[in-house]
Chain A
Amino acid sequence: MSTEPAVIIRLEDIDLVYRPGQQLSGEYWIESLPPDQLKAIEASVLWYTEGKGDEDLAIHEFWRRDIDDDFEIDPTQPERFSTTLPNSPLSYEGQIVKIRWCVRVRVFLHRGKEIVGEKHFHLDDIHPPRIPST
């Protein structure tokens, strides 16, 4: 019986609340993935909107590793990443607009298959996270 590949993302801050300008560091790896199936890996730190409106998405940091460029990729070994978070937009839980931050890892396999893993965190200057009417 074969296990499906899965993306594991681990952030260094356990409470997952970050302040603007703070360093976000962590690592990701892919479990149960034979190296010969891998084409590329993209890791992003991004925010996206949820709610009534169409989704907006913006990248803060983006890394891509192609198997053609780097034959040394072993997806089962943790890959570290680090970035300084921006001043805005802050995480937000509104009524019809919500802003979410996450680390997203997208793994491209042969035959057009993809695996996606996400780890959500809060970017905020107060704790607990803000709501519309404080």
Chain B
Amino acid sequence: MASVWETIFFAIILLLGCGGLVLLFGSFVVPEWRVNYEFIQHPCKVIDKRIVDRPSEDGPLYRPEIKIEYDVDGVIYSDWHYDIHKTYSSSRQSALAVLDQFSVFEKSKSNLYYCWYNPADPHEAVLVRGSRWWFWLVFTIPISFIVIGVGGLIYSFLHWGKSAERRSAMTRRVQENELFAVVGRGNRQYPSVPDGLNVTNSPGVRLRFRLPTTRSTGWAMFGAIAFCLVWNTCVSIALILAVYKIMEGKPDWLFILLILPFLAFGVIVIVHLVRKFHFATGVGPTFLEISDHPLKPGESYRIFLSQSGQLNMHSLRVSLVCEEQATYRQGTNTRTEIQEVYRQELYSNENFTIKRIQPFEAEFDLHAPDGIMHSFISAHNQINWKLIVDGSMEQCPDFHRAFTVIVRPISGEMPP
């Protein structure tokens, strides 16, 4: 249930956001709008100019000021002005650059400038107009406060006084409406069982479906290449610097000594990457095809295995495996634990060679035992069934490739 304190917290965030927005509008947007649309353009004389400074924690701040004189309806106004916000900056040079744009009035030159004055109070005037683009970025702060506050209050309102069961019932109703709109009744036949559509979207060559692998090695290889490149580029730069100093006749032996372990690690990373690449390209693709899907407890299926590559195999095994997966929060971290709870070996072959021109092929039975639990998925918990291919080779690390299958409950076949 949404607590009172949560609601108060989000209300305060919203108030802070609204207050900040009003303050920014009042302090910056309204004055700039008035200067741009209400102030009247008028010629003026520059009488004097100066830089005003004020101390701050990060050193002195500066702003340019120009004393101007202008005549409105026969009344002469004279004061120090520049911009409407009276903005200070840390750069004295930029303040000086502003002053250099204006020269003091000389009768012989008749050098006049335009100023803009407030018709309601002609004492108020500026020498520059327009707005700074970067200033609008400041608005993201109160706006983000407002978004968080409004979002939190909507959340609190929707959850106020509602039990976990009532919230779940509301969520289910929304999901049912969405399901009706998208896929209709079929997918609700087995709640919390994955539909397995991605498993059956690829037809097989020998059997009905070709199973997809659960994860590709491509991203792992990409990560390893990226790490190897970054590491060895840094080491190379350090090495070039060290060699340059040696060539100059001023070798920095401490620096060279420090580089050596980094260099050694870089070499290890390259060797590891080469082995990984050799392994990834040497062990060809593994294909598994199945005669029917999803699996049902107590029923039998044919499995076709195809393994390519130039491999001297110690062993090749295919197993049906069930894993429980639990995701939980520990402090601010989210952890996932996987526990294998069932393994049934379906196929095994030992001490044989696979030639590159002829992939190894085998066909065997899979009997889904009676009484096994069906596949299950919820927000933090899963029960996953997989066919796992384990290969063990001479002079190469073992490889494991997993293919997800869905097990459905045996009962509850409803007419469509």
- Tell me the A residues contacting B by CB distance below 8 Å: 19-21, 42, 44, 46, 49, 51-60, 62, 64, 86-90, 92, 94-97, 99, 104, 106, 114, 125-126, 130, 132-134
Query: Would you call B376 and A89 a contact (CB within 8 A)?
Result: yes
A49's partner among B337, B341, B378 (CB-CB below 8 A) is: B378
B411's partner among A19, A96, A114, A130 (CB-CB below 8 A) is: A19
User: Taking A59-B165, A95-B339, A106-B165 as contacts, is the C-beta distance between A90 and B381 under 8 angstroms?
Assistant: no
Instruction: Please report the C-alpha to C-alpha distance between residue A95 and residue B193 in the assembled complex, in whole angstroms.
Output: 19
User: Taking A125-B410, A132-B341 as contacts, is the C-beta distance between A58 and B168 under 8 angstroms?
Assistant: yes
Query: Would you call A133 and B342 a contact (CB within 8 A)?
Result: yes
* B327 beta carbon closer than 8 Å to chain A: yes
Query: Would you call B324 and A132 a contact (CB within 8 A)?
Result: yes
A44's partner among B165, B190, B341 (CB-CB below 8 A) is: B165
Q: Which of B78-86, B200-208, B311-319, B364-372 contacts A (4 or more CB under 8 A)?
A: B364-372
Cβ-closest chain A residue relative to B371: A134
A97's partner among B166, B372, B381 (CB-CB below 8 A) is: B381
Q: A residues within 8 A CB of B342?
A: 132-133
Query: Would you call A88 and B412 a contact (CB within 8 A)?
Result: yes
Q: A residues within 8 A CB of B326?
A: 51-53, 96-97
The total number of A-B Cβ pairs within 8 Å is 132
- Report B172 CB to chain A, min CB distance, Å: 6
- Report A54 CB to chain B, min CB distance, Å: 4
New A-B pairs, 4, CB < 8 Å, besides A44-B169, A88-B190: A20-B411, A89-B374, A94-B324, A125-B411
Instruction: Please report the C-alpha to C-alpha distance between residue A35 and residue B328 in the assembled complex, in whole angstroms.
Output: 41
* Complex interface residues of chain B between 138 and 171 (CB less than 8 A to chain A): 163-166, 168-169
11 contacts between A and B (CB under 8 A): A21-B412, A46-B168, A53-B337, A57-B168, A58-B192, A89-B374, A95-B341, A96-B326, A99-B376, A132-B342, A133-B322
* B325 beta carbon closer than 8 Å to chain A: yes
Query: Would you call A53 and B372 a contact (CB within 8 A)?
Result: no
User: Taking A88-B374, A90-B374 as contacts, is the C-beta distance between A54 and B380 under 8 angstroms?
Assistant: yes
* B379 beta carbon closer than 8 Å to chain A: yes
- Report B63 CB to chain A, min CB distance, Å: 56
Instruction: Please report the C-alpha to C-alpha distance between residue A89 and residue B190 in the assembled complex, in whole angstroms.
Output: 7
User: Taking A87-B191, A87-B412, A125-B409 as contacts, is the C-beta distance between A92 and B378 under 8 angstroms?
Assistant: no
Which among A21, A46, A132 has the greatest number of chain B C-beta atoms within 10 A?
A: A132
* B382 beta carbon closer than 8 Å to chain A: yes
- Report A91 CB to chain B, min CB distance, Å: 10
Query: Would you call B191 and A53 a contact (CB within 8 A)?
Result: no
Task: Tell me the count of chain B residues lying within 8 A, CB to CB, of chain A.
Answer: 42
Q: B residues within 8 A CB of A46?
A: 165, 168
* B197 beta carbon closer than 8 Å to chain A: no
Instruction: Please report the C-alpha to C-alpha distance between residue A78 and residue B381 in the assembled complex, in whole angstroms.
Output: 36
Q: A residues within 8 A CB of B295?
A: none
* B373 beta carbon closer than 8 Å to chain A: yes
Query: Would you call B411 and A55 a contact (CB within 8 A)?
Result: no
Q: B residues within 8 A CB of A55?
A: 380
- Report A84 CB to chain B, min CB distance, Å: 11
Query: Would you call B191 and A90 a contact (CB within 8 A)?
Result: no
Q: B residues within 8 A CB of A133?
A: 322, 341-342
Query: Would you call B172 and A94 a contact (CB within 8 A)?
Result: no
* B189 beta carbon closer than 8 Å to chain A: yes
Which among B164, B165, B369, B380 has the greatest number of chain A C-beta atoms within 10 A?
A: B165
Q: B residues within 8 A CB of A104?
A: 165
* B383 beta carbon closer than 8 Å to chain A: yes
Instruction: Please report the C-alpha to C-alpha distance between residue A125 and residue B324 in the assembled complex, in whole angstroms.
Output: 20
* B107 beta carbon closer than 8 Å to chain A: no
* B54 beta carbon closer than 8 Å to chain A: no
* B247 beta carbon closer than 8 Å to chain A: no
Query: Would you call A92 and B373 a contact (CB within 8 A)?
Result: yes
Cβ-closest chain B residue relative to A91: B373
Q: B residues within 8 A CB of A132?
A: 322, 324, 341-342, 373
Q: B residues within 8 A CB of A42?
A: 163, 165-166
Instruction: Please report the C-alpha to C-alpha distance between residue A57 and residue B191 in the assembled complex, in whole angstroms.
Output: 12
Q: B residues within 8 A CB of A125?
A: 409-412
Query: Would you call A97 and B169 a contact (CB within 8 A)?
Result: no
- Report A67 CB to chain B, min CB distance, Å: 14
- Report B114 CB to chain A, min CB distance, Å: 67
Cβ-closest chain B residue relative to A125: B411
Q: B residues within 8 A CB of A49?
A: 378, 380-381
* Complex interface residues of chain B between 81 and 114 (CB less than 8 A to chain A): none
Instruction: Please report the C-alpha to C-alpha distance between residue A48 and residue B384 in the assembled complex, in whole angstroms.
Output: 18
Q: A residues within 8 A CB of B190?
A: 87-88
Which among B373, B379, B412 has the greatest number of chain A C-beta atoms within 10 A?
A: B373
* B329 beta carbon closer than 8 Å to chain A: yes
Q: B residues within 8 A CB of A62?
A: 165-166, 168-169
- Listed from nearest, the 8 A-B pairs whose CB atoms lie closest are A87-B412, A53-B326, A132-B341, A62-B169, A56-B378, A20-B412, A52-B326, A125-B411
